[in-house]
Structure 1
Amino acid sequence: MSGIVYVRGDATAPQGKGVKIIAHVCNDLGGWGKGFVLALSRRWPEPEAAYRRWHRERARNDFALGAAQFVQVGPYVWVANLVGQRGMRTGRSTGAPVRYEAIDAALGLLAAKAEELGASVHMPRIGCGLAGGKWSLVEPLITERLTARGIPVAVYDFGA
């Protein structure tokens, strides 16, 4: 038993009561424009603006693989920008841009923030879309970093 609850629905509309953190994986190039981030940007402008500013000012902050940025978008809702993807896929790319060790490090930061806020964590299958990762490798990281610490996690599969 992983402790992860799987939900059919939209991760940008997290279910349940209390403080919620919506987590997703970003690349380390400052690119925001495909995949789950489009759904985030349709709902709230703040996560994209914060991510772009974080990347632009990276010489003076902690922006890097394995970093996490937390953006409050409502009284009880936060978005976690987790940098877990090296570059982006292009027509000539070989190999997936996912970086499991970076996702693992960012999940550790997410766990600390979730504990601080008393929050549950909500996400799509992070690192497994455009980043090209395998859920069989990401799921144990979530279990170890989050659910093993008692943090409730819901993973959303979009669609009917």
Structure 2
Amino acid sequence: MSGITYVRGDATVPSVKGVKVIAHVCNDIGGWGKGFVLALSRRWPEPEAAYRAWHRGRSANDFGLGAAQFVQVEPYVWVANLVGQRGIRTGSKGVPVRYEAIDAALARLADKAVELGASVHMPRIGCGLAGGKWSRVEPLIAERLVRRGIAVTVYDHGD
């Protein structure tokens, strides 16, 4: 069983063959405009448009903490919008990241990756603007994805 591969680079340009899912964490208030999503939006307009439509229609769909939305952006590339943070500000209830929501969304991601026969690529999800700790997120990825035999690459942005 392989672990998580760490590389320097841009998670929006995974350089492996086969089907790839680029995963990232979104908030539960429909905000898209800071952090990794900007890199996604520079490459493809579809993930943002799909996320915003999903949020707008939330009274009639599964949008919410722990949900996952899969958007195909190229023949072999999908983007996974994982709802894993409540709001966007650190306040009285702490940082926006919600580990249990990331865990639930990762389980959905694992099912999709297995179905597609895909590898998964991501920045250190939940650890940027969401304020999470990688020491809490990494074991969730290992449990939900790596344990099911899914190849996971985590990208640290190079300067």
Same fold (TM over 0.5): yes
| 2:100 equivalent in structure 1 | 101
Q: Does the 8 Å CA contact 1:20/1:76 hold for their aligned counterparts?
A: yes
The count of aligned residue pairs is 158
| 2:124 equivalent in structure 1 | 125
| 1:42 equivalent in structure 2 | 42
CA shift for structure 1 position 15 = 1.7
1:156 aligns with 2:155: yes
Which whole-Å CA distance do the structure 2 matches of 1:158 and 1:70 have between them?
23
Cα-Cα RMSD: 1.2
SS at match of 1:84: strand
* Alpha-carbon displacement from aligned partner over 1:45-91 (angstroms, at most 9, x marks no partner): 0000000000000001000100000000000000000000000116x
- Structure 1: state its 5+ residue gaps: none
Counterparts in 2 of 1:1-160, with a 5 A limit? Answer: 3-89=3-89, 93-94=91-92, 95-160=94-159
* Alpha-carbon displacement from aligned partner over 1:93-140 (angstroms, at most 9, x marks no partner): 242100000000000000000000000000000000000000000000
* Alpha-carbon displacement from aligned partner over 1:12-51 (angstroms, at most 9, x marks no partner): 0012100000000000000000000000000000000000
TM-score by length of 1: 0.96
Q: Does the 8 Å CA contact 2:113/2:120 hold for their aligned counterparts?
A: yes
TM-score by length of 2: 0.97
Report which stretch shifted further, 123-132 or 2-11: 2-11
Query: For residue 42 of structure 1, what is the amino acid of its counterpart?
Result: R
Could you list the structure 1 runs, at least 4 aligned residues long, displaced by more than 3 angstroms after superposition.
none
Which whole-Å CA distance do the structure 1 matches of 2:88 and 2:2 have between them?
30
- Structure 2: state its 5+ residue gaps: none
Which whole-Å CA distance do the structure 2 matches of 1:24 and 1:66 have between them?
12
SS at match of 1:101: helix
CA shift for structure 1 position 2 = 7.0
SS at match of 1:31: coil
Q: Does the 8 Å CA contact 1:2/1:143 hold for their aligned counterparts?
A: no
Which whole-Å CA distance do the structure 1 matches of 2:99 and 2:127 have between them?
11
Query: For residue 147 of structure 2, what is the amino acid of its counterpart?
Result: A
Which whole-Å CA distance do the structure 2 matches of 1:57 and 1:149 have between them?
32
Which whole-Å CA distance do the structure 2 matches of 1:43 and 1:13 have between them?
9
Which whole-Å CA distance do the structure 2 matches of 1:17 and 1:2 have between them?
17
Which whole-Å CA distance do the structure 2 matches of 1:153 and 1:2 have between them?
9
Q: Does the 8 Å CA contact 2:85/2:97 hold for their aligned counterparts?
A: yes
